[in-house]
Chains A and B, each alone.
Chain A
């Protein structure tokens, strides 16, 4: 009973900012600036559930976003609900399935297990950040070529895990690919094709590098 009450109370201000913030942010990438001035100055270290949400600046796909979020908000929620970047998928939301994988400073991370505040001062890359205009990123291209999905729900997470792997290791062995992709589950069982796609992506990256 109390829990329900708490949930509602603390969620309210956030979703209010979220809807308004989202409308304001479309196309300008500056969420919630208008409500920032309503906030009283706060102790930087102390953030309470009852206090107003706090200002946060995130660099996502090279673009800076100013946000106002509750400190307990995870990155997955901010990406999808506050910025409308729904390429990143919620799956288990407990760090098992990998659907929510993004890169933070080029390392693959579960955005469901990352507080938005933790990403402050770091570079976040999402699936949206891999496209260059209309041109797909090489990992996306490789997933298409190798038909590396069935239902497609886990695919953005798989692609981000592959991207993270290939950024740290340009020429992964078969074993390294299996290990690097082990944090992402596919309920359709498209693993064989996913594996081939990662190998293909490594080739494409190499060609791209030498071109």
Chain B
């Protein structure tokens, strides 16, 4: 069964009544399907206009779930989104960026999803809608493991909410892959860094992806750095124990030891870029 709703109400109604898979950009959906036909009903939400676009509100930014990476790249957004934009540029090639959606990347919940570290560093929240209503969940809680989220089968991820608290903070995203383009991350780091008038670190968020079942923030390192002057050689303060909370695995792309090492170096580089 294939359904193509044109409004959000129709979409959540369809999800309520059918145990369906949601089809948005399709960049994960089709490859997973291969030569087979879908084994479950499909709700294609690409015609639901109200899920598209980015809007600015008094206390938050709202990124519609169906917003594509190209649309995000073209949007006028403050510096705290630079890391997310860098990640968007690294998601597949242009054709994938023209197609893949923010909601899809989050719901697919790959440990190597490029958008997750920058959004974690923005303290993003996801908005989930079902016929029962609307609820907000912190992204850090929403992704619970590799390809596992708190989204119920009857819910749609309608938007990502980013609080407007560190708008002019600098932000950087660094990704290590086996080549420059079209590559799945071995390790990646996103940092958002805000300073006070004395150029001391007022607020810092550091998130690492591809180095654990779900991307995670390095909270201890964040606390350790808060209040310190944002100046040259800030990177020298980062020690291997600061990335101990990561739990990288050996796989086809890299060994666990290499990933730990890469994560440490990426954190140092990103920190230096933000502080200088």
- Residues on A lying within 8 angstroms of B by beta carbon are 3, 6-7, 10, 44-49, 71-72, 74, 93-96, 98, 101, 107-110, 112-115, 117-118, 161, 164-165, 178-185
Contacts and interface: CB of A to CB of B under 8 A. Distances in A.
Given A45-B3, A45-B5, A94-B30, A183 B95 contact: yes
Contacts, number: 96
Contacts of A113: 25-27, 30, 95, 99
> DSSP class of A's interface residues: helix, strand, loop or mixed?
mixed
Interface string B163-194: 00000000000000000111000000000000
Interface string B1-37: 1111110001000000000000001110011001011
B10 A110 contact: no
B199 to A, nearest CB: 31
Interface string B70-96: 100000000000000000010011111
> DSSP class of B's interface residues: helix, strand, loop or mixed?
loop
A117 B94 contact: no
Contacts of A112: 30
* Top 7 A-B pairs, shortest CB-CB distance: A183-B93, A182-B181, A94-B31, A183-B95, A182-B93, A110-B95, A71-B2
Contacts of A181: 93
B272 interface: no
A168 B38 CA distance: 35
Contacts of A48: 1-2
A156 to B, nearest CB: 14
Contacts of B42: 72
A188 B159 CA distance: 42
A6 B95 contact: no
